């Protein structure tokens, strides 16, 4: 509508005033400004992008944060010098208790660097000449990185040539130990360079890094390479293995607990038995008449192959039939961890025996019949 307005005005002008006269541009300009509607102006603002934080603004925020940290430490009666981020979080959670489920919606006090997104400072000086020589490529940090990388590749090749000339070239040099690490993902690289890259650029980057790695003397640039690799967190056991205790009669046993969906269970696994299971004082054949529940109980033992060896004494409360079986299964697998080697425990974790099931009953929402089911839709 706004565009129509402008065109209308222009056509009017065009029709009205035929010859180009020096007064026209002024009137044209005037017309344009008057004709521009508020909608146009609004659209321009949205297209401007997120708010730019000036470095001075960030600096001020940092100072305020430090002062606030000291005030908080004084309030909590702790030492203002050694007040960590954990202490801050603890104090905030104490002073502003929040019952919101979404953790990100709760009150937060963190260093401004973590809160405000990293932005590039102004790239050009007062004479409007850019600082960086690659500014006009558009992605200056990316291209500078590639330039640096290629420079290092050439460096390594020169070193190799020199060694070959001396006759000291050998392929069995110290290789970089990468360990369990992986290349930075595209998002992480973008974060590092504070600018957007395309997938094509990212692929080129990775190709060049791989090429550098494949050369024999890449250990020269080890530090540079490692800066661009992300250590993989070893996904192994973060589980606490329950300790193996000894009974009066010298029988090994261990206790563990498990939860599923409102049922809680606790299991004592004793060694040297014949495979009898008691649940809340009753035989498990009576407690779980359904085969499915008994199969759930059997799964950890069958997986580790220790079916007939243990006696289980279980107590379970809450929930329904299936959730009780699930809680018991979790508790049994946790208790078995102490009887079983590390590798087996890892296998159990990968089988999903040690993961507590996070599914809980979803809340019913107003305006719907159930959690997901909507009321019958009537067309009229």
What residues line the site for other proteins (CB under 8 A)? 275, 277, 282-286, 291, 294-295, 298, 301-302, 305, 307-308
Distance (Å, whole) CA 117 – CA 194: 9
Q: Which is nearer to other proteins, 183 or 299 (CB)?
A: 299
Q: Which is nearer to other proteins, 225 or 277 (CB)?
A: 277
- Min separation Cβ 284 and other proteins, Å: 7
- Min separation Cβ 298 and other proteins, Å: 5
Q: Which is nearer to other proteins, 188 or 283 (CB)?
A: 283
Radius of gyration for the alpha carbons in the chain, expressed in angstroms and rounded = 34
Give 124's DSSP letter: B
- Min separation Cβ 301 and other proteins, Å: 7
Q: Which is nearer to other proteins, 39 or 290 (CB)?
A: 290
Six-digit token string for 258: 């498990």
- Min separation Cβ 294 and other proteins, Å: 5
- Min separation Cβ 268 and other proteins, Å: 18
Pairing label, strands 277-279, 311-317: parallel
Q: Which is nearer to other proteins, 202 or 310 (CB)?
A: 310
Q: Which is nearer to other proteins, 77 or 308 (CB)?
A: 308
- Min separation Cβ 275 and other proteins, Å: 6
Phi, psi of 46 (to 5 degrees): -65, -35
Distance (Å, whole) CA 134 – CA 145: 11
Sign of the four-CA dihedral 87, 89, 95, 97: negative
**Contacting residues for 287 by C-beta, under 8 A, at least 6 apart:** 279, 280
Q: Which is nearer to other proteins, 149 or 301 (CB)?
A: 301
Q: Which is nearer to other proteins, 129 or 286 (CB)?
A: 286
How far apart, in Å, do the first and last CA atoms of the chain sit?
35
Distance (Å, whole) CA 238 – CA 241: 9
Burial of 316 (0-12, 13-18, 19+ CB in 10 A): buried
- Min separation Cβ 320 and other proteins, Å: 18
Residues 291, 295, 301: CA angle, nearest 5 degrees:
150
Six-digit token string for 348: 């159990």
Burial of 149 (0-12, 13-18, 19+ CB in 10 A): buried
- Min separation Cβ 300 and other proteins, Å: 12
- Min separation Cβ 254 and other proteins, Å: 20
Given a contact cutoff of 8 angstroms between Cβ atoms, the answer to whether 288 and 294 are in contact is: yes
Q: Which is nearer to other proteins, 212 or 277 (CB)?
A: 277
The residue to which tokens 């919606």 are assigned: 105
Given a contact cutoff of 8 angstroms between Cβ atoms, the answer to whether 318 and 264 are in contact is: yes
């Amino acid at each position: 509508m706004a565009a129509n307005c402008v065109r209308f005005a222009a056509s009017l002008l065009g029709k009205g005033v035929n010859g180009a006269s020096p007064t026209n541009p002024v009137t044209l300009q005037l017309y344009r400004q008057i004709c521009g509607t508020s909608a146009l102006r609004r659209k321009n603002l949205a297209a401007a992008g997120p708010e730019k934080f000036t470095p001075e603004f960030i600096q001020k925020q940092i100072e305020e944060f430090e002062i606030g940290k000291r005030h908080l430490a004084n309030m909590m009666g702790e030492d203002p010098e050694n007040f960590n981020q954990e202490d801050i979080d603890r104090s905030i959670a104490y002073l502003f208790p929040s019952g919101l489920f979404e953790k990100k919606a709760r009150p937060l006090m963190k260093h401004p660097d973590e809160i405000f997104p990293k932005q590039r400072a102004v790239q050009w000086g007062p004479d409007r000449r850019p600082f960086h020589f690659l500014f006009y490529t558009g992605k200056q940090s990316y291209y500078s990185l590639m330039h640096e990388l290629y420079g290092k590749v050439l460096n390594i090749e020169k070193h190799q040539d020199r060694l070959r000339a001396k006759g000291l070239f050998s392929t069995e040099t110290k290789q970089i130990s990468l360990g369990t690490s992986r290349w930075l993902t595209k998002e992480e690289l973008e974060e590092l360079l504070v600018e957007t890259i395309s997938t094509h650029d990212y692929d080129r980057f990775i190709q060049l890094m791989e090429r550098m790695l494949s050369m024999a003397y890449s250990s020269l640039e080890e530090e540079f390479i490692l800066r661009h690799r992300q250590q993989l967190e070893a996904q192994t056991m973060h589980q606490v293995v329950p300790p193996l205790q000894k009974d009066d009669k010298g029988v090994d046993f261990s206790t563990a607990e498990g939860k599923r969906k409102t049922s809680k269970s606790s299991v004592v696994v004793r060694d040297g038995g014949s495979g009898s299971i008691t649940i809340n004082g009753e035989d498990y054949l009576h407690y779980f008449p359904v085969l499915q529940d008994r199969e759930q109980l059997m799964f950890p033992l069958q997986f580790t192959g220790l079916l007939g060896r243990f006696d289980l004494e279980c107590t379970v409360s809450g929930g329904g039939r299936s959730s009780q079986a699930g809680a018991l299964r979790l508790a049994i697998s946790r208790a078995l961890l102490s009887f079983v080697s590390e590798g087996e425990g890892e296998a159990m974790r990968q089988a999903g025996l040690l993961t507590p099931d996070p599914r809980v009953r979803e809340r019913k929402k107003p305006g719907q019949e159930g959690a997901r089911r909507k009321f019958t839709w009537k067309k009229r």
